[in-house]
Amino acid sequence: MASKLSYSFSCTFFLFSFVLSEFSHFQHHHLQQNKSSDNNTYPSPFGFLKKLQGCHKGEKVNGISLVKIYLSHYGYLNYQRNPNVIDPKKDYFDEELEAAIKLYQVYYHLNVTGMLDAPTVFMMIMPRCGFPDKEIHQNSDKSSDIISHYRLFPSRSKWPKGKIHLTYGFGSRFPTRFMPPITRAFSRWATASQYFTFSRAITPQSADLKISFARGAHGDGAPFDGPGGVMAHAFAPTNGWLHFDVDDRWSVRGVPYAYDFETVALHEIGHLLGLGHSQYQSAIMWATIGAGESKGLTLDDIRGLRALYGS
């Protein structure tokens, strides 16, 4: 990670990167097996979860260890801090995994069963942002009866006071047809926040925010996983990296079988400004998105930004 990141965020991110490296290795192995049997399909890297539907505490089933890695990466499970767990890589559905699944179910407003039931598996295999859900506390606005589900980064990472104009630049060979959606996404955040303004940098190297497409391992410790799975990721202030997975199907016109580029850009810019994932499904900072789905900013997103930078 870049030296600009806070120490606490760096440590947390590298822990997740280590977990994700194991997860990505498993995904690559199973994707190759699936592709060899059907060259016309590109199953989700999270597709292995379908075979585990119905599993519950006390069972020993091949692949359970990968559920543990999945939940560890997204912030629901931390075996490193649990002295009662001797070997977290075992394919055994233990109490800690049950508790982690319950946390996941609460976060995504599912029935809290503690087992890998159909709605839980369906949610877990959804394409999503690569950043963890649960690193930080939930906020509630005491000034009204409305509950805010926005979340912030550790140590409330944000841009320095007075840094209200941010520049952005595109990586080499960034497709020109995807530049206007990025510009529109920045404009929407500027209008809604009434705080930040954005403009394209003279040179990409001088930009505060660096935007690019990438494939697989691309130097930031968080490798992409091919079609489906993780679509994009961005990092907390003041790192400024925003990466999209080039292997996913992207659209600028709302094609049903592709992901809406502007919607995902809106989400990832939220991370660049200091927002984590929201528990409010309509919010742009909700972690998952379906093909053909488009979204805009909500009051919850704006309330999160104002909690960081003021009204």
Following DSSP, what letter does each residue of 154-174 receive, concatenated? GGG--PPTT--EEEEEE-TT-
177 and 119 both lie in a single domain? no
Is the entire prediction scored with pTM above 0.75? yes
Could you give the 3-state DSSP secondary structure of residue 44?
coil
Among candidate residues 193, 213, 191, the one with its CA nearest the CA of residue 265: 213
Are 276 and 136 within 8 A, CB to CB? yes
* Domain annotation covers residue 191: yes
* Domain annotation covers residue 149: no
* Domain annotation covers residue 43: yes
Cβ neighbors of 248 (< 8 A, separation 6 or more) are 127, 227, 228, 231, 259
**Residue 241: strand pairing partners:** 210
287 and 158 both lie in a single domain? yes
Q: Which of residues 107, 126, 145 is at a domain's end?
A: 126
Could you give the 3-state DSSP secondary structure of residue 66?
helix
175 and 303 both lie in a single domain? yes
175 and 266 both lie in a single domain? yes
pLDDT confidence of residue 31:
42
Are 128 and 243 within 8 A, CB to CB? no
Convert the pLDDT of each residue in 261-281 to its tens digit: 999 999 999 999 999 999 999
166 and 271 both lie in a single domain? yes
pLDDT confidence of residue 85:
61
Convert the pLDDT of each residue in 97-156 to its tens digit: 999 999 999 999 999 999 999 999 999 999 999 989 986 334 444 333 334 567 776 668
Cβ neighbors of 25 (< 8 A, separation 6 or more) are none
pLDDT over 90 at 282, yes or no: yes
* Domain annotation covers residue 146: no
pLDDT over 90 at 29, yes or no: no
Active site (catalytic) residues: 268
85 and 203 both lie in a single domain? no
Convert the pLDDT of each residue in 224-233 to its tens digit: 999 999 999 9
pLDDT confidence of residue 77:
87
**CA of residue 87 relative to chain centroid, distance:** 27
167 and 289 both lie in a single domain? yes
Domain range holding 281? 154-309
CA distance 261 to 295: 11
Cβ neighbors of 281 (< 8 A, separation 6 or more) are 109
Percent of the chain with pLDDT over 90: 68
CA distance 24 to 47: 13
pLDDT confidence of residue 1:
33
DSSP state of 80: G
pLDDT confidence of residue 106:
96
**Residue 170: strand pairing partners:** 211
Q: How many domains does the chain have?
A: 2
* Domain annotation covers residue 147: no
Residue appearing with tokens 């809290």? 112
CATH number for the domain spanning 228: value is 3.40.390.10
pLDDT confidence of residue 26:
45
First to last CA, the chain: 31
Convert the pLDDT of each residue in 51-80 to its tens digit: 999 999 999 999 999 999 999 889 898 876
101 and 207 both lie in a single domain? no
283 CB-contact burial (10 Å; exposed 0-12 / middle 13-18 / buried 19+): buried
Give mean pLDDT, residues 226-249.
Answer: 95
* Domain annotation covers residue 238: yes
Give mean pLDDT, residues 32-47.
Answer: 54
